[in-house]
């Protein structure tokens, strides 16, 4: 273990001085999550300095990794997941993965968390539950196996993972060097604890003692921080509550540039959040109503339910008042379904969003610009990825986390890692995030596929990124988890795992879909339950709430369109989101 470069008196420096502390050929990690609190200004400065040979070690890649890859600053990657959220696959990450130009090591999320915790606690390793059924542990470079002499069970031991430098953006710091985080904490506390040096940009530096007056927040105490720079707008175009929300249109403009344009963007002035983005960050949850986001076309007669609406409603019906549903990294359909359930028949259900960073939220309207502030404001608790594992996932308290999959096998095995192209090359996918772990930990393991075909429902997935290895009641109870089911929801049918059959069995067909169609469009042998029936028609009131109150932007549709239609749909959603946000901010209903 190396000595950590921290003291009781963090240095107050310029942005350039902070970036100069990032050494080439070092291991770095980046704080924040999705499009929230990413240290964009600091990343730009590091890239502009020509820093090279970095080992990027973080739960997520996403926009920070794209920036560093295009600047040719990265030599190796250790991640659980890399996606650009609603904007799809990360092209620069895909390119280096598919060409094998940069080595990539995929981690189960819990293994990464435990490796960071070991370093934080000055231990050589930490125990970790193995993701039974998944092959992800075979890809993890730091896990070995230990058999408990008392029970005979095999667990993992993950080696301590030290980070040279953490790059973090936060809301405020006081003049003593204490740093404040508002809202979800991602893995920030874990990476800070495992780091030799912690470099933080903040929106403002305030007098000592001022942070104690701000209400609900998380404090990283000054003895954990190396240096701080005051950089207003340092996370832009991502968010930093309570100062500004994410600028989705600006992010899209950045991402649509050709190779090399992100590097050019790094050299231009960064821009700053608009007055509307700043005002939106101060909106209270009760101010976010659906009317400003509705399409003018929605005022006419309601049409027949579409397949995205049928699937959202069917998933919502899986939840009841005893459910605890967690919305993962990139899953508009699941997020919409959870909110719909809580707004209708399951008002006591607990919903966690932002990968369990916002716990027990109010249902609210699904928007882009306002959803983070709305959920952060209504959440009973703000958590991080590390504490939600030990508090909720590993304890077996989460009942549902519904994920999309690129490939699904007959027993519910999924592959979200890579596919073989017709040319024989590989198509890199985002990765499994934390699903290899939580597939067993959740009461119900629920997967969805929006385009059911022989290419998505296959005899054998190419890589088992997640699977239900502990399926029977006895196995689950012995492991401390709630007995539950494995489900697959597609645009053609609803499958449920049948232990006697040893595979997924069709229990419901989507409206108007013949059994022959399901058989023809499935790559494995299809079995139908004796009681198989058609999915119940959506309740008219539930359909109205979905369309008019929960998802007036139609974000769920992004998972149902092909690449050609996606751009136009995204443009429509971004424009309506911006206009609806303007009306909310200005008080125009």
Q: And the tokens for 153?
A: 């069970």
Mean residue pLDDT across the chain: 93
For the CA atoms of 221, 222, 228, 231, the dihedral, rounded to the nearest 10 degrees, stands at 40
Q: Record the pTM.
A: 0.94
Tokens encoding 244: 């500004």
pLDDT tens, residue by residue, 250-297:
998 888 765 555 655 555 556 789 999 999 999 999 999 999 999 866
Q: Are residues 305 and 227 in the same domain?
A: no
What dihedral angle (degrees, nearest 10) is formed by the CA atoms of 196, 201, 202, 207?
Answer: 60
In a domain, 578, yes or no: no
Chain Cα centroid distance, residue 208: 34
Neighbours of 481 (CB within 10 A): 20
Report angle CA 189, 190, 195 to the nearest 5 degrees.
100
HSE-CB at 465 with a 13 A cutoff on CA atoms is 27
Helix (H) or strand (E) holding 69: helix 62-70
The pLDDT tens digits of the residues spanning 141-182 come to 899 999 988 888 899 999 999 999 999 999 999 999 999 999
Is the Cβ–Cβ distance between 545 and 298 less than 8 Å?
Answer: no
Contact assessment for residue 146 and residue 128, using Cβ atoms and an 8 Å cutoff: no
Q: Give the pLDDT band of residue 299 (cuts 50, 70, 90).
A: very low
Q: How far apart are CA 41 and CA 246, in angstroms?
A: 15
For residues 370 and 414, membership in a common domain is answered with yes
Same domain, 271 and 291: no
Number of Cβ atoms within 10 Å of the Cβ of 589: 8
Question: 186 and 253: one domain?
Answer: yes
Which tens digits make up the pLDDT trace of 503-562?
999 999 999 999 999 999 999 999 999 999 999 999 999 999 999 999 999 999 999 998
Residues 197 and 116 in one domain: yes
Please give the Cα distance from 15 to 227 (Å, whole number). Answer: 10
Kindly report which listed range (53-62, 249-258, 419-428, 551-560) carries the lowest average pLDDT score.
249-258
Write out the residue range of the structural domain in which residue 86 sits.
11-275
Backbone angles phi, psi at 401, to 5 degrees: -145, 110
- H helices present in 510-562, as ranges: 515-520, 540-545
**pLDDT, tens digit, for every residue of 355-400?**
889 999 999 999 999 999 999 999 999 999 899 999 999 999 999 9
Give the end of a domain, one of 222, 252, 275.
275
164, 28 Cβ separation under 8 angstroms: yes
d(CA 315, CA 507): 14
Look at residue 459 and tell me if it is in a domain.
Answer: yes
Do 315 and 350 belong together in one domain?
A: yes
Residues 73 and 51 sit within 8 Å (Cβ to Cβ): yes
DSSP 252-275: HHHHTSPTTHHHHHHHS------H
Q: What pLDDT score does 301 carry? A: 46
Count each helix (H run) and each strand (E run) in the chain, helices first.
Answer: 18, 27
Going by pLDDT thresholds of 50, 70 and 90, the confidence category of residue 300 is: very low
List the structure tokens of 207.
């007098």
Give the residue from 111, 58, 70 showing the smallest Cα distance to 94.
70
pLDDT digits (tens, 9 = 90+) for 314-332: 999 999 999 999 987 678 9
Non-local (6+) Cβ contacts of 184 within 8 A are: 33, 36, 354, 355, 357, 358, 376, 382, 383, 384
Contact 305, 538 (CB under 8 A): yes
Host H or E run for residue 446: strand 444-449
Do 354 and 400 lie in one domain? The reply is: yes
Q: Which residue has the tokens 């506390």?
A: 189
Phi-psi region of 576 (alpha: psi -120 to 50; beta: other; left: phi over 0): alpha
What is the count of structural domains for the chain?
A: 2
131 and 174 housed in the same domain: yes
Residues 432 and 309 in one domain: yes
Are the C-beta atoms of residues 440 and 131 closer than 8 Å to each other?
A: yes
Q: Round to whole Å and give the CA distance between 80 and 432.
A: 6
266 and 333 housed in the same domain: no
Residues 196 and 255 in one domain: yes
According to DSSP, the β-strands at 54-57 and 143-147 are: unpaired
In a domain, 587, yes or no: no
103: domain CATH number is: 3.40.1080.10
Query: How many residues in the chain?
Result: 589
Residue 531, in any domain of the structure: yes
């Amino acid at each position: 273990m190396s000595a950590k470069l921290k003291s009781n008196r963090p240095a107050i420096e310029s942005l350039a001085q902070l970036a100069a502390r990032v050494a080439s050929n070092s291991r770095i990690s980046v704080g924040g999550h999705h499009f929230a609190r990413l240290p964009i200004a600091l990343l730009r400065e590091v890239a502009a300095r020509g820093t090279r040979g970095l080992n990027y070690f973080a739960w997520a890649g996403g926009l920070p990794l794209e920036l560093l890859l295009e600047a040719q600053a990265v030599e190796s990657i250790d991640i659980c997941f890399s996606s650009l959220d609603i904007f799809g696959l990360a092209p620069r990450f895909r390119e280096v993965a598919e060409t094998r130009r940069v080595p990539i090591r995929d981690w189960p999320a819990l293994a990464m968390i435990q490796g960071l915790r070991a370093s934080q606690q000055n231990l050589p390793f930490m125990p970790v539950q193995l993701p039974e059924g998944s092959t992800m542990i075979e890809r993890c470079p730091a896990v070995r196996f230990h058999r408990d002499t008392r029970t005979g069970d095999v667990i993992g031991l993950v080696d301590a993972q030290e980070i040279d430098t953490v790059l973090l953006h936060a809301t405020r710091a006081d003049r003593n060097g204490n740093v404040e985080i508002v809202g979800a904490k991602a893995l920030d506390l874990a990476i800070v604890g495992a780091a030799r040096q912690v470099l933080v940009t903040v929106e403002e530096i305030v007098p000592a003692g001022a942070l104690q007056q701000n209400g609900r927040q998380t404090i990283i105490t000054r003895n954990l921080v190396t240096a701080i720079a005051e950089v207003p707008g340092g996370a832009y175009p991502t968010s930093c509550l309570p100062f500004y929300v994410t600028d989705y249109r600006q992010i899209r403009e950045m991402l649509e540039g050709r190779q090399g344009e992100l590097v050019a963007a790094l050299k231009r002035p960064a821009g700053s959040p608009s007055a509307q983005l700043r005002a939106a960050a101060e909106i209270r949850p009760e101010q976010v109503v659906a009317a400003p986001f509705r399409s003018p076309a929605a005022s006419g007669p309601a049409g027949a339910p579409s397949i995205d609406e049928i699937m959202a409603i069917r998933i919502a019906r899986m939840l009841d008042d005893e459910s605890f549903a967690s919305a993962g990294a990139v899953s508009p359909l699941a997020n919409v379904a959870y909110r719909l359930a809580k707004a209708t028949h399951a008002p006591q259900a607990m919903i966690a969003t932002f990968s369990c960073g916002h716990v027990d939220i109010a249902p609210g309207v699904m928007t882009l610009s306002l959803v983070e502030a709305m959920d952060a404001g209504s959440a009973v608790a703000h958590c991080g990825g590390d504490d939600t594992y030990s508090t909720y996932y590993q304890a077996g308290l989460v009942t549902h986390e519904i994920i999309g999959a690129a490939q699904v096998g007959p027993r519910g095995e999924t592959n979200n890692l890579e596919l073989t192209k017709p040319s024989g090359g590989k198509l890199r996918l985002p990765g499994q995030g934390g699903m290899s772990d939580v597939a067993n930990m959740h009461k119900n393991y629920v997967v969805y596929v929006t385009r059911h075909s022989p290419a998505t429902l296959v005899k054998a997935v190419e890589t088992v990124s997640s699977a239900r290895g502990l399926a029977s009641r006895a196995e689950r109870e012995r492991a401390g988890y709630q007995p539950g089911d494995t489900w697959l929801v597609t645009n053609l049918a609803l499958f449920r795992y049948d232990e006697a059959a040893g595979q997924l069995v069709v229990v419901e067909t989507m409206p108007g879909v013949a059994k022959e169609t399901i058989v023809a469009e499935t790559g494995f042998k299809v079995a139908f339950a004796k009681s198989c029936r058609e999915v119940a028609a959506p309740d008219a009131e539930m359909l109205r709430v979905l369309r008019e109150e929960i998802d007036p932007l139609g974000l769920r549709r992004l998972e149902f369109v092909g690449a050609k239609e996606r751009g136009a749909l995204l443009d429509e959603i971004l424009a309506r989101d911006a206009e609806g946000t303007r009306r909310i901010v200005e008080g125009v209903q």
